Homo-oligomer: A and B are copies of this chain.
Amino acid sequence: MQLTNQFLAKLSGHTRLNAAELGALLGLRGTIVTTRGGCDLVRRDTESDYCCLVLEGLIARVDQTDDGKRQIGAFYVPGDMPDIQALLLPQAVTALQATIDSRILRIPRSALRDLVRSYPAIGEALWRETVGDARIASEWILNIGQRQARARVAHLICEIAHRVVEARGQQFGFSLPVTQTQLGEATGISTVHVNRVLGTLANSVRLSKNRAEIFDWAELQEAGGFDATYLACGTPQRLALE
């Protein structure tokens, strides 16, 4: 099985890739695996020979304190590659977990490494992906550190909406396969309080059956203090050609 167009589109969105490079990427082959919700894709302190590309479902990066408290540090939606950084630092310090049954394309790390070696621009594109992830992490720190519970939840929903659906009107819906507990783990809020906070947001958004329905996009963004700038990459760049 080969790469998704989603992934290629994402890379092309920030890095100018020529036909040869796109061809090389399309030449990548991997095997599809299905991971059940709640199961680990990558465990902490292990080294895997594969890179994951999310095809379907939702993957969470989950960290833990020594007394067992869980923190979700990132969500990866279809088209994302959650463990690019393992190409550089193979020892995982954080686990990857499916929040719901997910389809994953496992690509041999060696194949990706060869590509990066042969086509610097592909390395550049992947590097830019990791930098984009870091920006999102930075925004999460701001979100968790400075906003109140209600705003945190709203902000998180806005971010995922922004990443998952291209055309956003005032009202729309999308797949959001997370429990309220996971929402809490991602925002540093207890499950109980997530539930109450969602109640106060019911005018703008409602969650049910693994979906989010947005009723008032403007109000939701307002509630979360959401500004999508940090998700933008500007026009496609190319270090190697400048």
A residues within 8 Å of B by Cβ?
14, 45, 61, 63-67, 69-71, 73-74, 85, 87-91, 93-94, 113, 116-117, 120, 123-124, 127-128, 130-135, 137-142, 144-147, 185, 187-188, 225, 227, 229-230, 233-234, 237, 239-240, 242
Q: Are B130 and A131 in contact (CB under 8 A)?
A: yes
Q: Are A133 and B135 in contact (CB under 8 A)?
A: no
Q: Are A66 and B131 in contact (CB under 8 A)?
A: no
Q: Are A63 and B142 in contact (CB under 8 A)?
A: yes
* A-B pairs with lowest CB-CB distance, top 4: A145-B188, A137-B137, A69-B146, A63-B142
> Cβ of A137: which chain B residues have Cβ within 8 Å of it?
134, 137-138, 141
Please, how many angstroms separate the alpha-carbon atoms of A120 and B127 in the complex? Answer: 12
Please, how many angstroms separate the alpha-carbon atoms of A150 and B146 in the complex? Answer: 17
A120-B120, A137-B137, A145-B187 known; 6 new pairs, CB 8 Å cut-off, are A63-B141, A65-B225, A69-B146, A123-B124, A133-B134, A134-B137
A-B contact pairs, 13 of them (CB 8 A): A63-B138, A63-B141, A65-B146, A65-B225, A71-B145, A85-B131, A89-B234, A90-B234, A120-B123, A137-B137, A141-B144, A144-B145, A144-B188
> Cβ of A132: which chain B residues have Cβ within 8 Å of it?
89
Nearest CB of B to A237, in Å: 7
> Cβ of A128: which chain B residues have Cβ within 8 Å of it?
88-89
Please, how many angstroms separate the alpha-carbon atoms of A140 and B134 in the complex? Answer: 12
Q: Which residue of chain B lies nearest to A138 when distances are taken between CB atoms in the complex?
A: B73
Nearest CB of B to A241, in Å: 9
Contacts A89-B234, A127-B130, A133-B134; A188 near B120 (Cβ below 8 A): no
Please, how many angstroms separate the alpha-carbon atoms of A132 and B117 in the complex? Answer: 21
Nearest CB of B to A1, in Å: 25
> Cβ of A141: which chain B residues have Cβ within 8 Å of it?
63, 71, 73, 137, 140-141, 144
Q: Are A239 and B87 in contact (CB under 8 A)?
A: yes
Please, how many angstroms separate the alpha-carbon atoms of A132 and B127 in the complex? Answer: 13
Q: Are A65 and B242 in contact (CB under 8 A)?
A: no
Nearest CB of B to A114, in Å: 10
Q: Which residue of chain B lies nearest to A233 when distances are taken between CB atoms in the complex?
A: B89
Partner of A138, one of B61, B124, B146: B61
Please, how many angstroms separate the alpha-carbon atoms of A158 and B128 in the complex? Answer: 30
